[in-house]
Amino acid sequence: ETGVTQSPTHLIKTRGQQVTLRCSSQSGHNTVSWYQQALGQGPQFIFQYYREEENGRGNFPPRFSGLQFPNYSSELNVNALELDDSALYLCASSFRVGDGYTFGSGTRLTVV
Amino acid sequence: QKEVEQDPGPLSVPEGAIVSLNCTYSNSAFQYFMWYRQYSRKGPELLMYTYSSGNKEDGRFTAQVDKSSKYISLFIRDSQPSDSATYLCSPEGPGGYQKVTFGIGTKLQVIP
């Protein structure tokens, strides 16, 4: 399977709720990263997984957590949603450093 | 100082013009230099990348890196309306996530 697919494409949640976003990485890509992109900003790194282990994290609180599965899929979980969590959430996979990332089209999360 | 600085634009040019997009970065450990193109409501797509200093050409696009001045450029020749998008620079370093950083992106509009 080629490409990175994310689901859902759009989501509306209420402040305080929890959300799970899903990503299916490109086959063979052992590294997956999640990014948050606010309107008019560049993607901000949330965390990265390599072979099902978290191997790096950006400046995001613990209520942002993730999982990577052996079948190249992954999840981003956000607890206790805040209004400022409204953004485009991007999943990107890579085979190795220096190859660049293949991005999904993102999930647009709106917290009301 | 931000790790990657990029003028957000917007930059408007007439069709056929030569476009110059630029980034500066602060971390001398970066070794790979990526340019991504992001259309509205889509995830970024890898346009091209270079390793270390030098030039790389791909069709109408030329990427240039000057590590001594920590300056990255992307040139677009014979710009087309379909080039209208946001362009993100993203330097990467050795060893993984810590060095994957994006600029804010420059919004380019090519006017027919």
Q: What is the pLDDT of residues A53-66, one digit of tens each?
A: 998 888 999 999 99
How close, in Å, is residue A31 to chain B by CA atoms?
9
Q: Tell me the C-alpha distance between A8 and A21, whole Å.
A: 7
Q: Is A56 on the interface with B (CB under 8 A)?
A: yes
> What is the share, in percent, of chain A residues with pLDDT greater than 70?
97
Closest CA to B99 of A87, A80, A101, A70: A101
Span B14-64, pLDDT tens digits: 999 999 999 999 888 888 899 999 998 889 999 998 888 889 999 999 999
Mutate to test the interface with B, among A7, A99, A101 (most CBs of B within 10 A): A101
Q: What tokens does B101 get?
A: 């950083």
Name chain A contacts of B4, Cβ cutoff 8 Å. 42
Question: How big is chain B, counted in residues?
Answer: 112
| Yes or no, beta carbons of B96 and A50 under 8 Å apart | yes
Tell me which residue has tokens 């080039």. Answer: B83
DSSP B23: E
Span B53-104, pLDDT tens digits: 889 999 999 999 999 999 999 999 999 999 999 999 998 876 555 556 788 8
Instruction: Choose between B98 and A94: higher pLDDT.
Output: A94
Q: Tell me the C-alpha distance between B93 and B99, whole Å.
A: 5
How close, in Å, is residue B101 to chain A by CA atoms?
7
pLDDT computed for residue B30 by the predictor: 85
Mutate to test the interface with B, among A39, A68, A96, A97 (most CBs of B within 10 A): A97
Task: Provide the mean pLDDT of chain A.
Answer: 92
| Yes or no, beta carbons of A4 and B31 under 8 Å apart | no
Report residue A108's pLDDT band, with 50, 70 and 90 as the boundaries. Answer: very high
What is the mean pLDDT of the segment spanning A92-104? Answer: 84
Closest CA to B87 of B110, B57, B111, B59: B110
pLDDT computed for residue B95 by the predictor: 57
Q: Is A83 on the interface with B (CB under 8 A)?
A: no
> What is the share, in percent, of chain A residues with pLDDT greater than 90?
68
Q: Is A92 on the interface with B (CB under 8 A)?
A: yes
Mutate to test the interface with B, among A37, A44, A51, A68 (most CBs of B within 10 A): A37
| Yes or no, beta carbons of B96 and A4 under 8 Å apart | no
| Yes or no, beta carbons of A98 and B98 under 8 Å apart | no
Residue A1 has pLDDT above 60, yes or no: no
Instruction: Choose between B102 and A110: higher pLDDT.
Output: A110
Phi, psi of A83 (to 5 degrees): -55, -35
B14 DSSP β-pair partners: B111
pLDDT computed for residue B75 by the predictor: 97
What is the signed CA dihedral for A30, A36, A42, A44, rounded to 10 degrees? Answer: -70
